[in-house]
Every structure is written in structure tokens, then in C-alpha cells.
Amino acid sequence: MRKAGKQTWMYENYLYLNSTGTAVGPKEAEGPLADTFDISHDKLHCEEANWELAERRLMSESIDVCLSKANMSKDQIDLFLAGDLLNQNVTSNYVARSLSIPFLCMFGACSTSMETLAVGSALIDAGFANHVIAAVSSHNATAERQFRYPTEYGGQKPKTATSTVTGAGAALVSKVKSEIRIECATIGRVMDYGTKDPFDMGSAMAPAAYDTIKTHFEDTGRKPEDYDLIVTGDLSGVGSVILKDMLKEDGYTIDQLYNDCGLMVYNSDQQVFAGGSGCACSAVVTYGHLVQALKEGRYNKIFVVATGALMSPTMVQQKETIPTIAHGVVLMRSEGGGQ
Amino acid sequence: MSEKFNQQQYDKTVKEYQPKPSLIGNCLRAFLVGGSICLLGQFLTGLYMDLFNMTEREAGNPTVTTLILLSALLTGFGVYDKIAQFAGAGSAVPVTGFANSITSAALEHKSEGLVLGVATNLFKLAGSVIVFGVVAAYIVGIIRYVFQAIM
């Protein structure tokens, strides 16, 4: 049975995360997870002429690293799944232009990291592809320009705001055995609890994470204790507390085994308001730190729930509320480790 | 789903989870930074009056120009947005805030070219200030005219 309950995909084949690649900007490289990133840039421009090129470079680099770690070339890849935050997903589409791998572009805002991983795995499970690369990117300055104000504009942000992570993460998935297995995924529903503040995505996205996590437990019959870590993408200091309380109301206590990528990626003194956000937030933490922790045996089984706010500045100005979504993927140490 | 996080009252429920802006602190910081900018302006006016024998009225324009130049430079060096995060309205209300909104938009859209990038987007943020400034001046002008005609 591939489908469990309402929204969960149990992969029938044993699928593996063969390698990952991460590239980040300067602020992330000063954070507590600096050692877990493959490539770090010390300038936000990443030696490119503009912000959009910088983001594209980050995604290309993460894919290059991912491929070289697995000793594979791009013509051995059957499918490339990618997404980012920019209009028309330009980063992904323009990176795909130079890769010449069959390509499906995806958008789930900051949930795209797990969306691409879940869908890529499903396509391998069903036999439509053997090797898939899933990648996402975000850049602080491109996101500021698109969703907020010019980078240097002096507008005071509230404490509930988040800081978009500059970076990109890529993962190579196949049936070839490796240390980390992709076991199942829970696909989220779009939730809208009526919040309107684009400077408080944590409050807006907490219900989406709640719904996906709760549904995952119901679909699989599992309990929080079945995982060593349940981690959300970018709920920040505000949303992560709301999520814990929402789940508690339903009898799920996750306090001891919960964390949020947006809180893990920066130090508390880095002036990032409530925490990090963006597609790359969950991607660089999962494909860097969390994958490393699984390989080292610090965790056996983790549930990564990437959260996304699906609004645009136009919708916000038209006084619409913010729809949100969360997709979760279960990663575990494979029995017997790598080949 | 419990009553507490009911979809209808969610927006109210989560208020207690959101850190509050400190009103007094923000006012105090805005007063200090905004006041300092005005003090600098006053100093510049005095300087122009002394150095170039200008009247107070004549010294007004070079004072504003100097403040705009300083703000544009600080924006370019990436400092003004950091001051603004601290100062809030204190750095947004004075003429320096207006200069920052124009300079930051120009910098941001430089990559799209001089005409469609910089020139088109220059007043992206400042445009509303100009529109409402002109509209307000028009209304006040009419009121003044009517009063003068009656009295």
C-alpha cells in the first residue's frame, strides 16, 4: 500500500538520499551550522553582478557539489525538480537551462524543499525515473526586493519578521543504497487561519505545520516518540511556540524532540528578528546539518516539515489573508549504513 | 481541534505569542534620532549663515541639500537601513528618510538599466508622499483662497 490514510505516501521501494550539496551566503556562514555547509560566500553578491545572478550561482553550486560528491555527471540524472521564491521561478528555470536535464519546476514557497524531495522520491518509487535531483534556493536580497522593500530602504521591521536565508540546497535521490533512507512523505493541505500580516509568517504558517504533522500521525499510526527529531522549516520564534501549543491541545507533546530550521541556522545575536526563513532555510539545514547528524548516528529517524506562505505582495495589498502549506518527509538511517 | 486555536479566533489567540513592539522605547529612540537629525540641520543652517552671510531663509536650501547628500551616502554605504531599524519614525519622517527611499530604490533597480530600472522605480516608495503632498497643497490652497475671498 503506497497510500496511507489521507495524505501520506509510503514509498514501497527503498529510496535513498545519495548525496546533498549546500551553498550559503555570509550571514549563514557566521551561524552555528557554518561547518555543515559545502560552500560559503563571504559577500552577499557571491561575486556576481546582481542579486538574481547571485542566487542562481548558489543553486548551481549546490547541484555541482551534490553531483561531485556522488561521483555522477548531469547526463546520468533523469529528472531535475526545483523551485525558488522569485516570480516565474526564474532561479530554477535559468539554472535548468544550463543543466539540460528533463525538468519539472515547482512552487510551494518555502515548503518547496520537501515538496521537490517528496515528489522526486515518488517518481522514482513509481519507476518514472532512476536518479532525481531536487533543489531549492532563496536569497535575502532578491526576496527583500520581491516581497518587501529595496534592500537599503530604511523601514523598521517588527520583532515577528523573519530574515530570508541566502543559500541553496540540492539532494540526489535514487534506489542506490546509501546511509540515509527516504521512508515516507505527508503532503499538506493549504490552510488559512485568517492572518494578514506579511511580517509575521510564523503565526500564519503554524496551522499548516500543525495540520500536516497531525495528519501524519493519524495516517501512519505513529506517535511523536517514534522520531528523534521533528523539525519545521521556518516557523521562527513565534510560530514554533504556537505549533507546539496547537499539537499539545490535541494530545501530542513534541517539546523535547522539536526544533525549527529558522531557529537553528542563525545565532540569537545575529539580528535576524524572529529567525530565518525562505526555501533555503529548511534545505541548507536539512541537507547540511541534519543529514550529517543522521550519518553520524545522532538521530535515527527524523520528520522534516517544510512550511510555506503562499502569498504575493499584490494579494497582501488587496487585503487577502495568507494561505500556507506544509509538506513533511521522513528521513532515517538505513539499516547497515552505506554500500 | 481545540477551542483555543479555533480558526475564527486564531488571529486573536496568537496575539499573545507575538512579541509586542515597545511603544515607549520606540518613541524615545525616534525622538533621539529624529531630534539629532534636526539638530544637525540647525547646525548646518547656522554654519551657512555664518560662512556665507546668508539669511536664515537662504540657508534653508543648502541645509536640506546637505542632509539629502548625507542620507544618500549613508544609504549607499549600507548604514541608513541599520539606523532606521533602531530609530523607526525618527529616521523616516525627516527629509533624510525621503532621500533614503529614493536612493535605495535607485540602487535596487540599477540592474534593470538606467531608464526602465532606475528612472522608472526611483519614486516607487516616495511617489505616494509626492502625490499626497500635492493633493494636500491643492486642498489647503483652495481653502485659503475661499477664506480670502469671503473675508
Asked if the A184-333 domain carries CATH number 3.40.50.150, the reply is no
Query: Taking an 8 Å Cβ-Cβ cutoff, which residues of chain A contact chain B?
Result: 49-52, 145, 149-160, 193-195, 200, 203, 206-207, 210, 237-238, 241-242, 245-246, 249-250, 271, 274
Kindly state the percentage of chain B with pLDDT values over 70. Answer: 99
Categorise residue A292: left if φ over 0, alpha if ψ from -120 to 50, beta otherwise.
alpha
Best to test chain A binding among B5, B73, B129 (most A CBs inside 10 Å): B5
Residue B12 at interface with chain A, using a CB cutoff of 8 Å: no
A99: Cα separation from own chain's centroid: 22
d(CA A31, nearest CA chain B) in Å: 20
**pLDDT tens digit string along A157-169?**
999 999 999 999 9
- Whether the CA torsion A308, A310, A312, A315 is positive or negative: it is negative
* A14-39 average pLDDT score: 97
Q: Enter the C-alpha cell of residue A334.
A: 538505513
SS3 (DSSP) at A7: coil
Kindly state the percentage of chain A with pLDDT values over 70. Answer: 99
A146: Cα separation from own chain's centroid: 19
CA B49/CA B114 separation, integer angstroms: 38
| CB–CB contact B10 A152 (8 Å) | no
B126 touches B98 (CB < 8 A): yes
CA A308/CA B73 separation, integer angstroms: 37
CA A264/CA A234 separation, integer angstroms: 10
Enclosing H/E stretch for A104: strand A103-105
Give the CA radius of gyration of chain B.
Answer: 22
For CATH 3.40.47.40, the residue range(s) in chain A are: 11-174, 184-333
A83 touches A92 (CB < 8 A): yes
How is domain A11-174 classified at the architecture level of CATH?
3-Layer(aba) Sandwich (3.40)
Cα dihedral angle (B30, B36, B37, B42), rounded to 10 degrees? 140
With CA atoms as reference, the chain A residue closest to B79 would be A152
| CB–CB contact B81 A193 (8 Å) | no
CA A279/CA A83 separation, integer angstroms: 8
**pLDDT tens digit string along B59-85?**
999 999 999 999 999 999 999 999 999
| CB–CB contact A154 B80 (8 Å) | yes
**Looking at the predicted structure, is the pLDDT value of residue B4 above 90?**
no
- The letter for the amino acid at A78 is D
The domains of chain B are located at 22-150
**Looking at the predicted structure, is the pLDDT value of residue A149 above 50?**
yes
**pLDDT tens digit string along A204-223?**
999 999 999 999 999 999 99
State the pLDDT at residue A173. Answer: 98
* A275-287 average pLDDT score: 96
Q: Smallest Cα–Cα separation from A233: which of A334, A140, A325?
A: A325
**Looking at the predicted structure, is the pLDDT value of residue A63 above 50?**
yes
* B19-35 average pLDDT score: 93
Kindly state the percentage of chain A with pLDDT values over 90. Answer: 96
B90 touches B32 (CB < 8 A): yes
CA B72/CA B107 separation, integer angstroms: 10
d(CA B75, nearest CA chain A) in Å: 6
Specify the higher pLDDT residue, B139 or B2.
B139
**pLDDT tens digit string along A321-335?**
999 999 999 999 997
**Looking at the predicted structure, is the pLDDT value of residue B11 above 60?**
yes
CA A140/CA A147 separation, integer angstroms: 10
**Looking at the predicted structure, is the pLDDT value of residue B97 above 70?**
yes
Of A150, A195, A274, the CB nearest to B108: A150
State the pLDDT at residue A338. Answer: 47
Q: What is the DSSP string of B59-84?
A: HHHHHHHHHHHHHHHHHHTT-HHHHH
State the pLDDT at residue A337. Answer: 53
CA B91/CA B102 separation, integer angstroms: 14
State the pLDDT at residue B93. Answer: 85
ipTM of the complex: 0.88
Q: Smallest Cα–Cα separation from B108: which of B71, B75, B143?
A: B75
pTM for the model stands at 0.94
**Looking at the predicted structure, is the pLDDT value of residue B111 above 80?**
yes
CA B56/CA B59 separation, integer angstroms: 5
**pLDDT tens digit string along A90-106?**
999 999 999 999 999 99
Across chain A, mean pLDDT equals 95
Alpha helices (H) in chain A, listed in sequence order: 26-29, 51-69, 90-99, 112-125, 140-147, 201-220, 236-249, 261-264, 279-284, 291-295, 313-317
* A43-70 average pLDDT score: 96
Place A339 in a pLDDT band, splitting at 50, 70 and 90.
very low
The pairing of beta strand A163-164 with beta strand A276-277: parallel
A245 to chain B: which residues are within 8 Å by CB? 4-5, 17
A241 to chain B: which residues are within 8 Å by CB? 17
SS3 (DSSP) at A323: coil
* A285-304 average pLDDT score: 97
